[in-house]
Amino acid sequence: MRLAGKVAIVTGAGGGIGQATCIKFAKEGAKVVAADISLERAQETINLVREGGGEGVAARVDVRDSESIATMVQGVVGQYGRVDVLVNNAGIVKDSTLKNMTEEQFDDVIEINLKGVYNCAKGVIETMLAQGSGVILNTSSVVGLYGNFGQTNYAASKFGVIGMTKTWSRELGRKGIRVNAICPGFVSTPILMKMPEKVIKSIEERVPMGRLARPEEVANLFCFLASDEASYINGAAIEVTGGLTL
């Protein structure tokens, strides 16, 4: 198994890409910590992990709160002795055009999508440095590469995630820690599926593959990047878009 013996923390694990990543990691032998603002949803993910024969625990974490993160990391290290992988996946959208966007909408998205990634990485870095090994994987977006109408706040946060990824890969690569980002396109998650059917259909028509991504397809890439098979991949921002940007 690709991740046998590894301990992985996944934020935003209560559904969508985060949940699929927890399930995939567990199937590949990792001990999984499903972290989410909703403990109930995190526990639902761990229930699915255990149903598949995997091992893991749920944790309530607010990525805006460094104390919340520190408590989780202390618990993980106390239980498992290490942290091998951090998947920064927690995120929100609050879309609006620049003219109509409120300061609250802008700040909320930056606080969770950008500073939350910083907070979680900061929370695990001492442990990884002491181990001399680790992998940090950040969920950016195709919007973090090309921007998107009505997403000033989201685009800023996801561009920033790529910037932090590349900076950390320079700082930490020589210390045995790899840092990479994944840039999904349109994925069939609960947030996206709230859109009107005609909007979803128009999105599918823009994708050369003719469909949305499945969360599991993004999780598969996270698994590869977390594994030793990706031992020389560092500082990358990899698209998973079905060819959307061609």
* Catalytic site positions: 154
- Residue 183's nearest CA partner among 227, 238, 228, 222 is 238
8 A C-beta contact, residue 69 and residue 120: yes
Residues 6+ positions from 149 with CB-CB distance below 8 Å:
97
- Pure H helices in the chain: 16-27, 39-51, 66-80, 103-109, 116-131, 143-146, 152-172, 197-206, 215-226
| Start-to-end C-alpha separation, the chain | 34
